[in-house]
Every structure is written in C-alpha cells, then in structure tokens.
Structure 1
Amino acid sequence: MRALRWAPVLGLFASGGAWAGGHFDVDDAGTLAPGRCQYEAWLSRSPGDASAADNNLHLGPACRVGPVELGFNIDRFALRGERAALLLGPQLKWTFLGDDPQARWSAALSVTLGVDAVHGGRAGGQFVVPVTWALSQRLQVHANLGADWSTGDSERSVRKGLALEWALGDALSLIAERNRASGLWASRLGARINLTPTTSVDLGFMRLGPERLRTLTLGLNREFSRH
C-alpha cells in the first residue's frame, strides 16, 4: 500500500515546465518565445481518498535563454500521515522541430532534475520527448514518450501519454488526456480559461490508478517580457 500512496507524488513530479503545459501531465512541444518569461503555480488536493496525496503545491518560473527554455521547479507533496517531500530542481526544454507558432508539427526534448530537500537529498528526474500535431488553429494533439527516475531508489519507469486540446475560442480551451507514469495510468479532464492574452487559469480533475484516486487542481499561468 505504501508504494501506491507515493505513486501520485512520483507521477506528478517534473510535469509542466512549458507555458502551454500548465498542470497537465501531457506536455506540448512548444517553448517560450525569445525574450519572454513565465511562471506557473498550482494547488492539487485529493478529497476523501485516505491513500492519496493530501495536497501538492507547485511553483515553476522559466525564461527563454538562447534556443532553450530554462526553468526551476519547486514542488511540495504532502501525504496524510507522512512527512511532506520538497523537490527542487532545474528543467530544460528545447524545441528542435517546428519552433514556430504556425508549425503543423513540432517536437521537443525536455529534461528535469529534482532533489528532495526533506528526505536526505534524494535525487530523481525525468526525460520526455513531447510531440504536437496541430490539426487546425483550434485543435491540437499532444503525445509524450520518456522515462522517470524516482527519488530515493532511482527506479526507472516509462512515461507516455496522449492529449487532445480544443480551443472553443480565445477565452476557453478544453483538454482531455490519458497518461502513464510510475507504472500507473491516469485520466484527466480540464479547462484553461484565458483571463488575458498572457494570463490563464487551469481547472482539472484526474483519476489515478486501479483505485481511481481523485485529484482536483487549480492553476495559474502568466507570461511576461523579461526586459
């Protein structure tokens, strides 16, 4: 049961360094434009599930530096009855194909490292190849393939996922995704509400694993110029 208790922590670790990724598990292949920065923050809770993560907090600032997007993730994971984990580490993302907002196909490489500052400095990480297919200006398909290295035992597991993003207009997008991380499948439905062209709010509902553990998420994303 302990492995299942920590599965949400491992599955959520290192997700979402990209602007369009937000709190969602399946990342897109885009990066910030030159001269732009962003921050994203979110809070997740699992009400009513004694074996689930009680609450997760994330803060992830990032900036475009030359050809890559460089960020730093701060993640706090708290499970009921256990000491909270605090993961700190950098994230680097490079869009090597289709680095243009109008590109039909785009692909990237994303590498994330994290050290648990609470449990003896145990390290973990993630490597993912995100691919985005723009079917139209309103409809996109995102696919991810990669691996996670869990903190503590450095056990490697495959990460893969598929997501559909549908923009109903300039103010609202709907996102549905299916993702596998740390040996467990998760399904998520969510919405992104654009308050301004550079500020958005995320709402998400996820079910994880064979016990269908529930997680609700509220996120905030903001992009700005670093000059």
Structure 2
Amino acid sequence: MKKNRPTTTIRWPWLAWLPLAACVLASAVARAGGHFDVDDAGTLDAGQCQYEAWWGRTGPEPVTGLHLGPSCRVGPVELGFSFDRLSAEGIHTVIAGPQLKWNFFGPAADAPLSAAISLGAVFDVRRGGRAGGQLVLPVTWRPADSLQLHANIGADWATGTGARTPRAGLAAEWALDEKVSLIAERSRASGVWTSRIGGRFSLTPLISVDVSASRTGPRGVNGFVVGLNHEFGWK
C-alpha cells in the first residue's frame, strides 16, 4: 500500500519508487501472484497453506525490499498476513497487515473465466501504526491450457493520510511446460506505470522460484526481484 515518504533527501526516482514498492510488496497474497504486480483470480485449494518470500532492489542507490507472506485457505476464503521491509539510503520502513481473498466466480483451477475480490489492510509499524488499505478485483481468462490472461482493477489507500489512488494492470502468463512459465505485465499504482517481465520455475509441484526485471516511472528506473513460493497441506 502506498505510504508516506521516508525523507525529503532521497532524490526523485527512489522517492517515487518507494511508495510504489510498498504498494506492490504488500499486495500479493494469492499463490499464483508471487511477487508479480498483477494478481490472478485463483486461491489456494481447501486444506492448503503457503508462504511467499521475495527480495528486490531498484536503481543504483538502491531501494531494496524484503517480503514475507504466509496464507491459508479457511472455508471459502484465503486468509494471509504480509510483512514488508523497505530500505533506501539508510531509511527503513516496515509495513504489515492482514489480507483476504475470495474467488466468487469460476473457482475451479481450470475454469476458462474466473474472478475474485482481494482486500487488505496495512499498518506502518515504525510510524505509530498508521493504517492504509487496498481493494483489488482480479479477473483471469484462460483462452488455452498453456495461456492465462489476468486483469486487475482497484484502489490503494495511503497509510496516515488515507489518500486514495487507482490501481490497474494487465498480464499474460504462458506455460512452456509443467516447470517453466513466462510472465509479462503492465501495471499502474500510486500514479506510476511499471513494466515487468520474468518467469516462474517449478522445483517441485509445490515449490517454485520467481525471477523478474522491471522498469518503473517516466525515467525508466530498473528493478530486479527474486522470490520463493512453497505450498503445503495443513490438515
């Protein structure tokens, strides 16, 4: 979620990217989203949990981010919790909060069309627990077994001020085989556009690694993220 600027001494690309990074890192709970900005409409199967972890950096300064996010399927919804630590030029920001995702249309894994609603709240832990939030509607269309197209629309509420900004994005996910998928996306959050391309590599049926490169904002700030996703049963 978008949050307040950590300091006025950070120059523009890093200052502009930091709230965007917070928004991106804190947003994803769904298992197929990983660290990618555009989420899909899928949720975990009944009786399943997962954890996601990723680390990213952008720019030569750099701005870095660390994310940890466990989640479990509980009844018809997926419940999770996100923890994100962002750093730039010695300034650290920590945001954390609960997440909920409900697939209300096309819940089957192979459904040709599915839709969900994702809700989240975050709290700026280092600045008195000031709250923010997010609402996203992810839609997934599967025109072929190997191809998925994802669309997101929603909004973010900044911690502290409560200022609302729109969020939107489109992504294509192409499975080369059972172990490798390529993902390309274009998204807008906190008033800034980001283009991202990367891949998902399955080490086992329940463990995967994500890697991506991105360009953010009108000055084309480059970024890189690597993530780990692990799904497991809890009952």
Q: Tell whether the structures are fold-level matches, with TM greater than 0.5.
A: yes
The answer to whether structure 1 residue 35 and structure 2 residue 47 are counterparts is yes
The answer to whether structure 1 residue 26 and structure 2 residue 26 are counterparts is no
SS at match of 1:100: coil
The answer to whether structure 1 residue 113 and structure 2 residue 121 are counterparts is yes
The answer to whether structure 1 residue 17 and structure 2 residue 29 are counterparts is yes
For residues 119 and 71 of structure 1, the distance between their equivalents in structure 2, rounded to whole angstroms, comes to: 23
Contact 1:187 / 1:208 at 8 angstroms: preserved in 2? yes
For residues 11 and 62 of structure 1, the distance between their equivalents in structure 2, rounded to whole angstroms, comes to: 18
Q: TM-score, normalising length from structure 2?
A: 0.91
For residues 91 and 21 of structure 1, the distance between their equivalents in structure 2, rounded to whole angstroms, comes to: 14
| Residue in 2 that maps onto 1:69 | 78
Aligned partner letter, 2:49 = C
SS at match of 2:144: coil
For residues 140 and 183 of structure 2, the distance between their equivalents in structure 1, rounded to whole angstroms, comes to: 14
Q: CA deviation at 1:102?
A: 1.7
| Residue in 2 that maps onto 1:203 | 211
Contact 1:161 / 1:178 at 8 angstroms: preserved in 2? yes
The answer to whether structure 1 residue 98 and structure 2 residue 106 are counterparts is yes
- Taking only the aligned residue pairs, the percentage that are identical comes to 52
Structure 2 alignment gaps of length 5 or more: 1-11
| Residue in 2 that maps onto 1:79 | 88
For residues 140 and 146 of structure 1, the distance between their equivalents in structure 2, rounded to whole angstroms, comes to: 20
For residues 189 and 59 of structure 2, the distance between their equivalents in structure 1, rounded to whole angstroms, comes to: 21
Q: CA deviation at 1:142?
A: 0.2
For residues 89 and 15 of structure 2, the distance between their equivalents in structure 1, rounded to whole angstroms, comes to: 14
Aligned partner letter, 1:86 = V
- Segment drifting more, 178-187 vs 14-23: 14-23
Backbone CA RMSD of aligned residues: 1.3
Q: How many residues align?
A: 223
